[in-house]
Chain A
Amino acid sequence: MDFASWLISTVSRALAFGVPLLWGTLGEIYAERAGVVNLGVEGMMILGAFMAFAVSQSTGHPGLGLFCAALIGGVAALLHAFVTVTIRANQYVSGLALSMFGLGLAGLLGRGWEGKPLGNTLPTLTIPGLSRIPVLGPMLFQDQTILTYLGIFLAVVLWLLLFRTRWGLAIRSVGENPSTADSLGINVTLVRYLCVFFGGLLAGVGGGYLSVAYRPAWTEGMTAGMGWIVIALTIFAAWDPLQALWGAFFFGALYHLSYRLQAYLAPELLKLMPYLFAIVVLAISGLGGARWRRRAPGALGLPYVRGER
């Protein structure tokens, strides 16, 4: 295979593999911008993956499946929001509990669905006109699902919302300094609930994409740690939706290459690449030192109690 066609297919697959990471990361960025770490992404994604598969398989509508995936992700996230925002319990532990619970529940519910291929997968699009541009056409405008473009569009919209609107300012101030936000009349609890819920919706879609488009079948534990990569990407993207694009597609390329390079290296060693890179990438951003860490929302991980301090 010549270099051009190799490059075309790599970029095209990197986009497709990056989609679940992108959706998950955009959601987590919003939750963390409001000050709530949600380590339950893995659990929300696997619940979304199961839900999307089960609904698509029974109704024949992958779109409806994705909608239900978003809902179950959102509901799971509300559980986390209740425990961390209302009860003010430790966010790390609650997120871990959500991941354990989600993985267990999806495994339990999915037992009868295991290994069956999906009849109706999410259709891929060929964009008229654009897809006929040489090189760029097959790279970017063929064989992608609607979620690729929707995800990129969403990243831009979420960036605008976060940095150019009053709502975004409210979200960021709740994550940065909730008592100041509170004194300015912003409802800290409401903002945190909404952002965590929104994060759950997106994580659910990301998970659903896995089972109705990416690998159209259901297998237990099919998210395989993507939810944790999302947490790393959120830090790597410095909590910025636009930077999440690069991160997600870079890791999409890594996942793709871990299949592609199997002629040269043992498949098991290739599969560990994305996880190793997640650490490497965080270490590199750590070399940036305090400058990078300062970008983290100031009240990240801290429950807000009115009247304290």
Chain B
Amino acid sequence: MRRLGPFVFEPRLSPPRYIVFGVSVLAVVVALLAAAPVFLGYGQNPWQAYAAIGRGIFGSWPSFSEVLRRAIPLILCGVGLTLAFRAQFWNIGAEGQLLAGAVAATGVALFLRVPEGLRLPLMFLFGFLAGAFWGLIPALLRVKLGVNDVISTLMLNYVMAYIVEWLVHGPWKGPTMRGFAYTDAFPLAARLSFLPATRVHWVTLVLGVVMAVLIALLLARTRLGYEIRVVGQNPDAARYAGINFTVVLSLVMILSGGLAGLAGVGEVAGIHWRLRSPSHISMNYGYTAIIVAWLARGNPLAAIFTALLFGLFFAAGDYMKTTLGLPFQITGVFNGLILFFLIGFDLLMFWRVRLARKEGAWISQAGS
């Protein structure tokens, strides 16, 4: 308990849902306000810019569908990260796990001899496995050797990005692609179909939503989910209860990395139809998914909606670039700001503000 002027701040252990929601909305709104000077710097009125973006994106189904398209990888990565964060495993590596999935999918699409009907399912399967493998490494490193998970997952992002660069410049460079660092284009059987009049590869979208539901059920209804939550909330109790950290964290990261891997499959099979430089395949989806998961407060179902919100920001970034002539980097600034305000405003969630009653009334309590 602390006093500030006429106000008393009381700690609140578990804030009610409407407060959590309200504070999260507030953080996003304040970040939008804080980003306003950037528009002024480019000689644009921020309110007119925001309004133009809103009209541009919500004006028609094809332009709105871009929000969905951008949200697909964010849903898959974001849901995976909620799981990892619930276990207090700092998976900052969704970016690399996504690329691992893209690599595996490309391998299946271009080089594996399978019946055409099996090609896409196998791409998703191997994409999941590749992402899972890339996620499992830091889990084992942490459990067995105490390697910091933030560092190992981040470093593996760079390692995988350079592996992709190497593949598209070297062994997998498409003979028909001449000067470009691309693989050959995927055969038709390895491409995902779109919703009409859009670029929304709906199979991946459905997969993302289904995965969100499954992960939510896993967390809430299963023994493994319970163990994950204990490991995250009270590692000492988990150790005391004999929960096997190696098994729990390995499974968490297999799922978390695997989901990011699926996102990578969706990007190459649904958007690019080839493997190309990592910055084109993932526009920092893996890093943005950290904010998606954080804003969702570790709830996989909420991550669907926060992913849609960030899909909107990405679509807004595209719109700003093409129509308003503003640089896409604004989205990066904006993402950082949102994350800052989100954790900054947590304070509001866990403290209840009241008017102080009498002067002395609280002193005795404060001392106890």
Residues of A whose CB lies within 8 Å of any CB of B are: 39, 43, 79, 83, 87-90, 92-94, 96-105, 107-108, 111, 220, 224-225, 228, 231-232, 235, 266, 268-269, 271-272, 275-276, 278-279, 282-283, 286-287, 289, 292-293
Contact = CB atoms under 8 A, between A and B. Distances in A.
B155 A103 contact: no
B36 interface: no
A88 B166 CA distance: 42
B162 A97 contact: no
Interface stretch (B117-125, B140-148, B307-315): B140-148
23 contacts: A83-B340, A83-B344, A87-B347, A88-B347, A89-B344, A92-B90, A94-B340, A97-B337, A98-B336, A98-B340, A99-B336, A100-B339, A101-B333, A104-B331, A104-B333, A224-B158, A232-B148, A268-B163, A268-B169, A268-B170, A282-B147, A282-B152, A283-B145
Interface string B289-328: 0100010000000000000000000000000000000010
Contacts of A108: 38, 327, 329-330, 332-333
Given A97-B339, A97-B340, A100-B287, A111 B329 contact: yes
Contact of A268 (B152, B165, B333): B165
Contacts of B331: 104
Given A268-B162, A268-B166, A275-B159, A235 B329 contact: no
B237 interface: no
B84 to A, nearest CB: 13
A111 B333 CA distance: 14
B250 interface: no
Given A39-B150, A228-B151, A228-B155, A266 B339 contact: no
B335 interface: yes
Q: Is the interface of A mostly helix, strand, loop or mixed?
A: helix
Contacts of B150: 39, 92, 231
A89 B346 contact: yes
B145 A287 contact: yes
Given A108-B329, A278-B155, A286-B145, A87 B336 contact: no
A127 B154 CA distance: 40
Contacts of B330: 104, 108
A227 to B, nearest CB: 10
Contacts of A225: 154-155, 158
B154 A266 contact: no
A289 B203 CA distance: 46
B334 interface: yes
A279 B343 contact: no
Nearest to B334: A104
Query: Which residue, of B155, B158, B169, has the highest number of chain A Cβ atoms within 10 A?
Result: B155
Most A CB contacts (10 A, CB to CB) among B148, B151, B334 go to B151
A104 B339 contact: no
A87 B148 CA distance: 25
A87 B151 contact: no
Contacts of B337: 97, 101
Nearest to A94: B343
